[in-house]
């Protein structure tokens, strides 16, 4: 995942949303590791265990993403709002491609991205 580290550092210093962003990066890294483990596994039991852990992390990530949106609503500085929304969109994209394989095959990544667009399009229309 590519994040402009200058933006990340400036937001990271700004209170609780910095911790949430750090958590999101950590969750995405764990999801990538689990995905790799899933594809290397030959055991259906291990794959099932990995999928369960992935789903737990996805739910945790969704909660963090909702918290980022709450910070966007409370933030008065337009630049900070735009940076947070940019990170939020990047996180959604990364989450969508790191869902458990059965969820990807069932179109859940498309659902997630459509939900993201329903939030991003009005935001962009209002702030551009």
The pTM of the full predicted model, rounded to 2 decimals, is 0.85
CB-based contact 75:81 (threshold 8 Å): yes
Other CB atoms within a 10 A radius of the CB of residue 59 amount to: 10
Give the Cα separation of 103 and 75 in Å (integer): 34
With 60 as the cut, is the pLDDT of residue 4 above it? no
The residues, ordered by sequence, that sit 6+ positions from 62 with a Cβ below 8 Å of its Cβ are 95
Q: Which residue, among 26, 36, 19, 34, has the nearest Cα to 1 in the 3D structure?
A: 26
Q: What pLDDT, on a 0 to 100 scale, did the predictor assign at position 127?
A: 85
Strand ranges (DSSP E) for 9-75? none
With 70 as the cut, is the pLDDT of residue 17 above it? no
With 80 as the cut, is the pLDDT of residue 2 above it? no
Extract the tokens encoding 100.
């458990």
Q: How distant, in Å, are the alpha carbons of 9, 31, 75 from that of 83? A: 11, 24, 11
With 90 as the cut, is the pLDDT of residue 88 above it? yes
Extract the tokens encoding 89.
């969109």
CB-based contact 119:91 (threshold 8 Å): no
With 80 as the cut, is the pLDDT of residue 16 above it? no
Average pLDDT of the segment spanning 91-104: 95
């Amino acid at each position: 995942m590519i994040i402009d580290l200058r933006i990340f550092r400036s937001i990271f210093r700004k209170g609780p949303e910095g911790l949430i962003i750090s958590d999101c990066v950590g969750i995405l890294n764990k999801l990538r590791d689990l995905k790799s483990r899933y594809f290397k596994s030959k055991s259906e039991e291990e794959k099932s265990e990995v999928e369960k852990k992935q789903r737990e992390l996805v739910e945790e990530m969704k909660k963090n993403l909702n918290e980022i949106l709450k910070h966007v609503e409370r933030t008065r500085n337009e630049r900070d709002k735009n940076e947070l929304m940019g990170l939020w969109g990047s996180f959604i994209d990364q989450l969508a491609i790191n869902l458990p394989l059965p969820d990807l095959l069932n179109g859940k990544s498309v659902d997630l991205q459509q939900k993201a667009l329903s939030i991003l399009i009005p935001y962009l229309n209002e702030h551009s």
